[in-house]
Amino acid sequence: MKQRSLKQRDYDWHPQALSPDYKSSILRSPTQPLLRVDGLASELDGPAFSPDVIGPLDHNLIQNYAAALGSNGEAIGPRIIVHGRVVDENNRAVPDTLVEVWQANAGGRYRHINEGYIAPLDENFGGCGRCMTDENGCYRFLTVQPGAYPFPNGPNTWRPAHIHFSVFGTAFAQRLITQMYFEGDPLIQHCAILNAIADPKAVQALIGRLDMETSVPMDCLAYRFDIVLRGEGSTPFENRMEGN
């Protein structure tokens, strides 16, 4: 069988490492040519994540934090379902893949020691969840709509509502990170981070679409966000400069 090489990263599709309008990228972007370091066998084969440790509420960000504290409380905010498929460049399902998410609460505040935003914390919301994709590559989370928040990029700059995604391969060294935004959010066009992506179609690939068929009447709206791991139409990722 002929060995197929992976398509190299399209720098106009994926986020630029250096975007002067996104001020922190000036300090974080590489100043020297990138080096490719091939993974060792131990890194490519493991350590792997065991699905046995996934708890029954790990996918439920509305309840999982409070339940871990022994409370029956629930997170405050509009309830939403976020779901989709993880697929390869040929739209084939990628099953048994660990998907992790983290986000701000409905007021736009993270539960983090260095958080500086003055919005209140939600005592019942931790902002983290995880699940495994099923045999069809599907994942599903129950959470609350995150709020927008300001960040110190300029005199009045705000981040659109978003959810961070992490997708693992067969080992912890194989990890892709991206963000999902929400259809119709007016702050998307003003985001310095999103504006670092040159191709408008790539920005559209990061937007979760309202899915009324999956929404639950009198309960929660749903958004669909499919993740494409590689190829010309891959989801823009933050951390694979050499290609997916």
* CA count, 13 A, side-chain hemisphere, 209: 8
Q: Are 219 and 212 in contact (CB under 8 A)?
A: no
For residue 78, is the peptide bond before it cis, meaning its omega torsion is within 30 degrees of 0? Answer: no
164 is catalytic: yes
For residue 159, give the 3-state DSSP assignment. Answer: strand
Active-site residue, from 22, 65, 110, 181:
110
Q: Are 140 and 81 in contact (CB under 8 A)?
A: yes
For residue 127, give the 3-state DSSP assignment. Answer: coil
190 is catalytic: no
Active-site residue, from 159, 181, 223, 230:
159
Active-site residue, from 9, 79, 140, 164:
164
Active-site residue, from 149, 181, 223, 230:
149
Strands (E), 160-206: 162-168, 175-182
| CA-based R_g, the chain, Å | 18
162 is catalytic: yes
The amino acid that residue 43 corresponds to is E
Distances (CA, A) of 152 to 24, 27, 117: 9, 14, 10
Say which DSSP state 180 is in.
Answer: E
Active-site residue set: 110, 149, 159, 162, 164
